[in-house]
Structure 1
Amino acid sequence: MRQTKIALAVMATAAILAGCSGNSGKPDAGDQTLKVKFASQVSFGDSLSDVGTYAVGGVKALGGGKYTINGATGTGPEFSGKIWLELLAAQFGLPAPCAAMTGLDGDATKGFKVPVTTNAGCYGYAQGGARVTSPVGPGNKLTGSPLGLLTVPVAQQVKNHLAAVGGKFKGDEIVFVMAGGNDVLFNLGALSAAATAAGTSAGTTAFANSLIAQLAAGATNPQTAAQAIGLAMAAESANPSHTDATVVTAAVTAAVKAGNTAAASPTVYGPMVAKAQADATAAGTKAGTDYAAAHSAEQVAAMATAGKELVAIVKNQMLTNGAKYVAVANLGDVATTPSGLAQPSSSQQLIAAMVKAFNDELDKGLSGLDNVLLIDVWTSSHDQATNPAPYGLTNVKDTACDLSAAKNPLGIALTCNLNNLKTGDVGRYSFADETLPTPYNYWLLARFVSEKMIVKGWL
């Protein structure tokens, strides 16, 4: 039944995507007239909709520019190297979308410092790394990234567009909005960093306590020895040039002075160090896991807030200002991306909860509005991940791009091209890198969006 349903959807939209002019979806055979003739296409969001913000400088030199496989992996629109917005613009009979802003603010020595340019008449505002309202997203220089992505948030993207067109949408634009993914990644990264810090701190303390107790046990006065060994370890740890080995040496030296002369032998203190390391690993793992569990609810709440913020942007900045055709895509099933699948079960569950919180807010705030089409990308992507064959997908778990430093210095889809793909036929892989689609998957997305626009009466 599922395959039949998908086959019918494919038949309903295949003719539409076969050429640039498209088909209205009307039942009349041969009718090539669009039901709604859009005057322009405007897009807001993140890397999934970025049509070339960073196709400059060092990124361009590395053969990149868009977050997918940069280049045609075969003949036909599904292998063209284009993203979904480019395919849809061709279907609508509109010019190829261009980036409203280009540039980089990173390391000049690597070609990642390129003046920011605003491109008149270009309405592709989406940027890789962009979040819903926060100006600091993944890859921004304030995160320490040498790439220096601009990461202008969606809220500002819309303001920039309104400033460029006189403060109002004309009402004849098709407006696409897809965001939230970087809020997931950024919040997860922050949680991971904090959990790691908690684990490291707990592990360091456990190592010291374990080693001190073991060394002091063989001293003349264990209590006094423990204090002396602890002070010696603390003093050496404060030395900027210290290493784990010098800290152990300081502890052993103090133990010997306190009467545990046997500890001078590596055969004696070696097993003690090994046990202390095992104790540190166990304590660190537990502390990190406990921290993540204790703060997971905060990440879910943060995504719910981001969802509410995006709803407010659509209503207060778009609809209120004259937009009549706004298509908003919810978040896909991030937990089943290669990045998500590489996480432990607890992290996958957290990712799923974060995505659901965001999508639930979009559903509550935007469903049923006449001028808004809410596109359920989550359901589509989840079905692709669990039932790939009907979609023509050959691999939904691995990356099509070789992300090794030798092949792809940035390790992301932005600089993936025909020269750094994995061996074999990867054209029908779902993912270019750990989170972003191949051109084939973007083609599937364009087809899915077209189907929903037909149902809405917009095509």
Structure 2
Amino acid sequence: MKKQRSTRAALVRFAQVATASAAFALLAACGGGSDDNNSTPPGGVKLQVVSFGDSLSDVGTYSPVAAANFGGGRFTTNPGQVWVQDVAQYYGDTLTPAMTGGFGTPPQTQSGLGYAQGGALVTNPIGINHVSNDPANYAGPLTVPIVQQVKNYLAAHGSFNSGQLVLVGGGANDILYNLQAVQAGALSPTNAGVAIATAAGQLAGIIGTILQNGATHVLVSNVPDISMTPQGMMSTPAVRAQMQQVSKLFNDTLTGALTQSGLISKVIVLDIATPFANITANYAQFGFTVSNTGTACNLQAMAAAAQKFGEPNPQAFATSLFCSPETLTVAGADQTYMFADTLHPTTHLHALWAQAAEQTIAKSGLGK
């Protein structure tokens, strides 16, 4: 009972600020998902998919605890998939976590190639609500930063190869982390902008490392405009303006760094901010009944249930990591709402993200 209370308490601490905060395989060479079906997948070519990033690409790092206790497991409308899983299926692969643990459970290396972790920043190892790296007292989330995710992959597999599609997406947590510091009065807007731009440049450097170690097919997704999320819509006009400015700053800096380093011609850049803006403006045409003004997960009911069970901070459970079919706002909300919680896409919106990625990849000539 004491261990269970400790685990749930750790989940509370993380959920308070959990955020966003992304060809042609010799599968045995790199491990991970496999496919025994020799038929051609929808993408036109078999690919082993490797992904690095944050909660927007996390395929289930915290699922052993979140699923067991709440029926959740990923930062979306569970049991739905996130975009990197959809892309993997499109190319005949199955993407599973490379590591699981946290919240009282020591990190455990798994066989999957999904390295993204909820709460992860680009280079800072102290991610969102990070507590400790001590396996004997691992109370919080893992939040392994993207730079370390890539190092962990290389330590386990040696290199990338021409039989892989590498998906990279990050920066949303760096944006939110620094904006939170501004709102708390701990950081000036100017210094926050510098930190966010620095993270974008660092992500470009990480992409360079991936290419230098054998990757030939790399998709880089930038960040959506955070001001267009429900959290942005609920913020003051001044905060919304800041969200919009720094989202654009991150994306422009990332593109600029890739261009200046000569990497832009070696990667496939997915400007996800553009299709997200189009979907938001024309949400009904994409099958949604609610755009960025509501959440598919009934966050109030989730908090109320936690309060009923005596949780000291029930509002902390109002996040998609703990969302299940039983806690949806209405039946089918995973398909009719754009957002699961105030930051993370629903299953349907993740599927559209994946389609945008697949179309961008096809334009590059891969799979034709």
Normalising by structure 2, what TM-score? 0.79
Question: Which residue of structure 2 lines up, in the alignment, with residue 393 of structure 1?
Answer: 288
Distance of aligned partners of 1:419 and 1:407 in 2 relative to their CA distance in 1, 3 Å threshold: farther
Question: Counterparts of 1:266-415 in structure 2 under 5 Å?
Answer: 295-315=188-208, 317-366=209-258, 369-396=264-291, 397-404=293-300, 405-407=303-305, 409=314, 410-415=317-322
- Structure showing greater radius of gyration is 1
- Asked if residue 64 in structure 1 is aligned to residue 63 in structure 2, the reply is no
Partner deviation per Cα, 1:178-201 (whole Å, 9 max, x = no partner): 100111111112222226xxxxxx
Question: Which residue of structure 2 lines up, in the alignment, with residue 85 of structure 1?
Answer: 84
- Asked if residue 152 in structure 1 is aligned to residue 160 in structure 2, the reply is no
Q: Distance in 2 between matches of 1:418 and 1:394?
A: 18
Normalising by structure 1, what TM-score? 0.64
Q: Distance in 2 between matches of 1:395 and 1:361?
A: 32
Given candidates 414, 429, 443, the residue that maps to 2:351 is 443
Question: Which residue of structure 2 lines up, in the alignment, with residue 126 of structure 1?
Answer: 116
- Asked if residue 138 in structure 1 is aligned to residue 128 in structure 2, the reply is yes
1:301 and 1:357 in contact (8 A); partners too = no
Distance of aligned partners of 1:330 and 1:147 in 2 relative to their CA distance in 1, 3 Å threshold: farther
2:66 and 2:321 in contact (8 A); partners too = no
The offset of 1:386, in angstroms, is: 2.1
1:303 and 1:354 in contact (8 A); partners too = yes
Q: Distance in 1 between matches of 2:40 and 2:228?
A: 35
Q: Which moved more, 1:319-328 or 1:359-368?
A: 359-368
The offset of 1:147, in angstroms, is: 6.7
Name the aligned partner's letter for residue 402 of structure 1: N
1:57 and 1:113 in contact (8 A); partners too = no
Question: Which residue of structure 1 lines up, in the alignment, with residue 178 of structure 2?
Answer: 187
List runs of 5+ in structure 2 lacking aligned partners: 1-38, 133-137, 307-313
Q: Distance in 2 between matches of 1:371 and 1:322?
A: 12
The offset of 1:389, in angstroms, is: 2.3
Partner deviation per Cα, 1:60-82 (whole Å, 9 max, x = no partner): 321111111113xxxxxxxxx12
Given candidates 45, 50, 57, the residue that maps to 2:53 is 45
Partner deviation per Cα, 1:164-191 (whole Å, 9 max, x = no partner): 012x212221000010011111111222
Tell me the secondary structure at the aligned position of residue 175 of structure 1. strand
1:21 and 1:91 in contact (8 A); partners too = no
Name the aligned partner's letter for residue 130 of structure 1: A
2:175 and 2:196 in contact (8 A); partners too = yes
1:67 and 1:414 in contact (8 A); partners too = yes
Name the aligned partner's letter for residue 62 of structure 2: Y
Distance of aligned partners of 1:345 and 1:381 in 2 relative to their CA distance in 1, 3 Å threshold: same
Tell me the secondary structure at the aligned position of residue 328 of structure 1. strand
Q: Distance in 2 between matches of 1:372 and 1:102?
A: 29
Tell me the secondary structure at the aligned position of residue 166 of structure 2. strand
Question: Which residue of structure 1 lines up, in the alignment, with residue 4 of structure 2?
Answer: none
Distance of aligned partners of 1:22 and 1:411 in 2 relative to their CA distance in 1, 3 Å threshold: same
Question: Which residue of structure 1 lines up, in the alignment, with residue 365 of structure 2?
Answer: 457
List runs of 5+ in structure 1 lacking aligned partners: 1-19, 25-33, 72-80, 105-111, 196-291
1:300 and 1:353 in contact (8 A); partners too = no
Question: Which residue of structure 1 lines up, in the alignment, with residue 99 of structure 2?
Answer: 101
Q: Distance in 2 between matches of 1:365 and 1:91?
A: 30
Tell me the secondary structure at the aligned position of residue 170 of structure 1. coil
1:98 and 1:124 in contact (8 A); partners too = yes
Distance of aligned partners of 1:458 and 1:103 in 2 relative to their CA distance in 1, 3 Å threshold: same
The offset of 1:21, in angstroms, is: 4.8
2:54 and 2:120 in contact (8 A); partners too = yes
Tell me the secondary structure at the aligned position of residue 398 of structure 1. coil
1:366 and 1:374 in contact (8 A); partners too = no
Q: Distance in 2 between matches of 1:441 and 1:364?
A: 28
Q: Distance in 1 between matches of 2:328 and 2:84?
A: 23
Tell me the secondary structure at the aligned position of residue 49 of structure 1. coil
Question: Which residue of structure 2 lines up, in the alignment, with residue 418 of structure 1?
Answer: 325
Q: Which moved more, 1:346-355 or 1:52-61?
A: 52-61
Name the aligned partner's letter for residue 421 of structure 1: L
Q: Distance in 2 between matches of 1:436 and 1:407?
A: 21
The offset of 1:139, in angstroms, is: 3.0
Aligned residues: 308
- Asked if residue 169 in structure 1 is aligned to residue 182 in structure 2, the reply is no
Partner deviation per Cα, 1:335-388 (whole Å, 9 max, x = no partner): 010001111111111111111111012211335734300100111111222221
Q: Distance in 1 between matches of 2:139 and 2:229?
A: 23
The offset of 1:407, in angstroms, is: 3.9
The offset of 1:37, in angstroms, is: 3.5
Higher helix share: 1
